[in-house]
């Protein structure tokens, strides 16, 4: 990927909003950054608001610290998140 010009690797938003969120996301991030020397961005598109509403009521969302992993996705405007419903 790097030889072909990749400068950053994005891991799909579904890693974060699956049921439950992927417990290995930290391992994937560390592996990619170490093995390939490329930074990793979590999320490829905004989190749909209906997912946000559901996840905020479930314990694993906070237990895994997902909101702190993706502050950029958490801070998307409501109209943007709603448009992804």
Taking every pair of C-alpha atoms in the chain, what is the biggest distance, in angstroms?
43
pTM, entire model: 0.76
Whole-number pLDDT of residue 35: 93
Tokens (6 digits) for 20: 């439950």
Whole-number pLDDT of residue 3: 87
Domain range list for the chain = 9-83
pLDDT tens per residue, range 6-56: 999 999 988 888 878 888 999 999 999 999 999 999 988 898 999 889 888
Whole-number pLDDT of residue 70: 86
Sole residue written with tokens 């930290």: 26
Q: Distance between CA atoms of 27 and 53, rounded to whole angstroms?
A: 27
Whether residue 9 contacts residue 40, with contact meaning beta carbons closer than 8 Å, is answered with yes
């Amino acid at each position: 990927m790097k030889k072909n010009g990749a400068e950053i690797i994005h891991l799909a938003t579904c890693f974060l909003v699956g049921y439950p969120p992927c417990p290995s996301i930290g391992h994937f991030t560390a592996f990619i950054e170490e093995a390939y020397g490329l930074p990793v961005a979590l999320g490829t598109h905004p989190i749909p608001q209906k997912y946000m509403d559901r996840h905020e009521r479930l314990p694993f969302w906070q237990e895994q610290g997902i909101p702190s992993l993706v502050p950029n996705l958490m801070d998307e405007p409501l109209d943007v998140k709603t448009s992804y419903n």
